[in-house]
Structure 1
Amino acid sequence: MINKHNSFLREIHKEVRREKIVTFWNKYAKFIIAVFTSLAIFYFVWSYQFNSQNVSIANTGAQFSEIMQFLAEGKQAEAALGFEQIVEEGSGGYVQLSLLRLAAHARRNNRPNQAMQYYQQISSDASTDTIIRDFAKLQLVNLKHGMNDWDKTKISLQELINSNSPWKYIAQETLSLEAYRVGEFEEAKELLAQILASKNVSKFSLQRAKILMRLTLGKLKSSSPKERTDALETNHQH
């Protein structure tokens, strides 16, 4: 039964991560790229004669477009090298977009530690757009799944939940999964109830929340207070 539950949690966790990434890029990527491109072009035209830095911004924009073409052609390695060069030498929003692409490339190639470094770089940069910064924070929590203790995970996710971030409900779902995993069933129940009562979550999140709520209620019903306390102590020690 434990293995079955663990397998279920892993599958849900993967599904949540897939949905987050797909939602992020489908909903924001074109807009963000268009905004940064437009700003770079506008700024370059406006002050080209007065500020040589704009030449660098325009060049970075052109370079970014070329690298995106590499991706479209399936040239992942060449694209990764190009994004690394932008991170090293580029400026403005193109650096953050390149870091996101590098993190995604690292994850695809099963290099989670490298991906975490990229997300950490994004999330710690106060100049980064809030949407991108919060997305990076959420990805850090997901990549550290099972590595951080409960208290650290809770603090990281609660920050997003309380901030009216676009990722608020996904953070809430992730926290409920973590609460269930470590035996914090009462907290998992409370978080899941909030998700189920919300009108702003996707139907897939609602379906997962319903399933996890049934499992959580089953755990609360079947386990004694002492068993729950023992489980919590064991998880906190790890």
Structure 2
Amino acid sequence: MSEDSFLREVEEELRSDKLKAFWRRFAPFIIGAAVLIVLLVAANEIWKWWSSNTAATASDQYYAAADLAEQGDIEGAQAAFAELQASGPAGYATLARFQEAALLVESGDVEGAIAAYDALAASLDQPRLRELAYVFAGYLAVDHLDAAAVEQRVGGLTGEDNPMRNSAREALGLAHYKAGNIEEARANFEAIAADPAAGQDMQLRAFVYLEQLASTGVDVSEELVDAAAPVEAAPEEIVIPAETPSLETLGQPLESDAGQAQTE
């Protein structure tokens, strides 16, 4: 055997010994890491399956409860939403709480509904959903509480960067009008009418409110009255209400504002 061959064999033996020593030292960690990766992948797949299955079940429960409400079975719908709130995933549980508050209104318990919306708002982490709950409570408070109660719920939502601002302004305007605070009512209605981001239906109502104020001698911006004229000239497309809408007609702008909130 040549000297070179002998040296190569020695080197190979040394490498083999080092590899064996390395493996004996680190094998438990390498195997453990591999097992951990497999377990994490398996856990993630199980979680995805469970979440998908749970969401599908919750969705079925939610629409079944909504169908009960549409059929007039208020008690059955309340029980179904309560069950979903207790056992469903967080998103559907929150939707169920909104629906439970709305059903209280349908059953005639407006004070209970206001309290439910207040409790819902106080418990929510998502700012837009919390604001939406306060807006619903604010609208209900217009006819059942004083202007200060409405201000307490939606007074902080009228900033220009808040997607709920026009619903908050409308509730405040109605509350102040009811309380005889005409200037405060006018300011809120004019802010809606001048806001290009306000929904068309809400702006139309704001114009109606302002026209009613103007008919009683209140000084209203002429520019806003002029802006309302082209809309009133097309009755075949838009019907201007003859009277101030009741709370039952206020759902559509809320949906619009809620859509803006989700977009932002």
Which range, TM-score by smaller chain? 0.5 to 0.7
Q: Which residue does 1:69 correspond to in 2?
A: 64
Q: Which amino acid is the alignment partner of residue 154 of structure 1? A: E
The partner residue of 1:139 within 136, 140, 143 is: 136
Aligned to 2:187: 190
Cα deviation, 1:115-166, whole Å, max 9, x if unaligned, reads 2233123201132x33322111011112222443323322422211127332
Local SS of the residue matching 1:144: helix
Q: TM-score, normalising length from structure 2?
A: 0.56
Cα pair distance change 1:219/1:95, threshold 3 Å: same
| Separation of aligned partners in 2, 1:156 and 1:70 | 29
Which residue identity lines up with residue 188 of structure 1 in the other structure? A
User: Structure 1 residue 217 and structure 2 residue 187: aligned?
Assistant: no
Tell me the amino acid that sits aligned with residue 106 of structure 2.
R
- Say whether residues 1:149 and 2:130 are aligned partners: no
2: CA distance between counterparts of 1:212 and 1:178? 12
Residue of structure 2 equivalent to 1:179: 176
Deviation at 1:220, TM superposition (A): 4.8
CA distance in 1, matches of 2:171, 2:164: 10
Q: Which has the higher contact order (CA 8 A, sep 6+)?
A: 1
Of 127, 132, 147 in structure 2, the residue corresponding to residue 130 of structure 1 is 127
Structural mapping, 1:19-34, within 5 Å: none
Query: Structure 2: how far apart are the matches of 1:208 and 1:92?
Result: 36
8 Å CA contact 1:67, 1:79 repeated in 2 = no
Is the counterpart of residue 86 in structure 1 residue 81 in structure 2?
no
**Equivalent runs, 1:151-166 vs 2, <5 Å:** 151-162=148-159, 164-166=161-163
- Whole-Å separation in 1 of the counterparts to 2:117 and 2:209: 28
Q: Distance in 2 between matches of 1:138 and 1:146?
A: 14
152 and 108 in structure 1: CA distance in 2 versus 1, 3 angstrom threshold:
closer
Equivalent residue letter for 1:71: A
Q: Which consecutive unaligned segments of at least 5 residues does structure 1 have?
A: 1-43, 223-238
Cα RMSD (Å): 3.2
Structure 1 contact 185–220 (Cα < 8 Å) conserved: no
Residues 78 and 163 from structure 1, CA distance in 2 versus in 1: closer, same or farther, beyond 3 angstroms?
A: farther
Distance in structure 2 (CA, Å) of the matches to 1:93 and 1:84: 14
Are the counterparts in 1 of residues 138 and 168 from structure 2 also a CA contact under 8 Å? Answer: no
Q: Distance in 2 between matches of 1:108 and 1:55?
A: 35
Q: Higher Cα Rg: structure 1 or 2?
A: 2
Secondary structure in 2 aligned to 1:69? helix
Say whether the 8 Å CA contact 2:147–2:172 is kept in structure 1.
no
> Structure 1 residues 205, 117: closer, same or farther in 2, change over 3 A?
same
Is the contact between residue 141 and residue 149 of structure 2 (CA under 8 Å) also seen in structure 1?
no
